[in-house]
Amino acid sequence: MKIGVLALQGAVTEHMRSIEAAGGEAVAVKLTEQLEDLDGIIIPGGESTTIGKLMRKYGFIEALQQFSKQGKPLFGTCAGLIVLAKQIEGQEETHLGIMDITVARNAFGRQRESFETDLPVKGIDEPIRAVFIRAPLIKEAAPGVDVLSTYNGEIVTARQGHLLACSYHPELTDDYRLHAYFLNMAQEAAAAAGK
């Protein structure tokens, strides 16, 4: 499986390392033309407003919406989760607007309120190590969105068909099981598309 990492901002190298540890082929994506060859793409953390501006500048909004319409998996981590969301609290404009969730930016507070925890995730046997840095939260998930994990009663991992999103940074640990879960989603989507 060839998995892209949107290389506009964020921990691109770390995501690529996790994809390869999980048995996939990782590609840093800087041009929309690269999307054609991919089985899935990760939108990493960073600053969601900046990522949104860069995506608009380089034509990624329409290109990734088309990618999603083809049923190809997208995985948004931290700010990437905000980029996928159909609604952002206190904000009129969304970015990709493809996942039926409402998110709150910086819901866990500032940088100094960052923390790590062991998080049980539905579909993964043992809890994974999750690093929360100025993390957003999924405030609401529509029917059809599968909640995969919560922290203190708040949704922090969710899946809707070919879309996966989490509030934290799975790439900042040596635990690549969430990337393996995403690779599995890409394999399922490729099989469904007759690849």
CATH architecture of 2-192: 3-Layer(aba) Sandwich (3.40)
CA angle in degrees (0–180, nearest 5) for 121-124-130: 50
Cβ neighbors of 155 (< 8 A, separation 6 or more) are 101, 137, 138, 139, 141, 147, 149
The number of CA neighbours under 13 Å toward the Cβ of 73 is: 29
Burial (CB < 10 A; 0-12, 13-18, 19+), residue 15, is buried
Instruction: Check 15, 95, 169, 179 and give the catalytic one.
Output: 169
pLDDT over 70, % of the chain: 96
Distance CA 81, CA 181 (A): 16
23-57 pLDDT per residue, tens: 999 999 999 999 999 999 999 988 888 999 999 99
Active site residue 166: no
Q: What whole-number distance in Å separates Cα of residue 56 and Cα of residue 45?
A: 17
Q: What is the pLDDT of residue 47?
A: 85
| Set 78, 162, 166, 179: catalytic member | 78
pLDDT(111) > 80: no
| Mean pLDDT, rounded, of the chain | 93
Per the annotation, the verdict on 171 as an active-site residue is: yes
**Residue 71: per-residue pLDDT:** 96
Model pLDDT, residue 134: 84
pLDDT digits (tens, 9 = 90+) for 57-107: 999 999 999 999 999 999 999 999 999 999 999 888 899 999 999 999 866
Q: Which of 95, 162, 166, 171 is catalytic?
A: 171
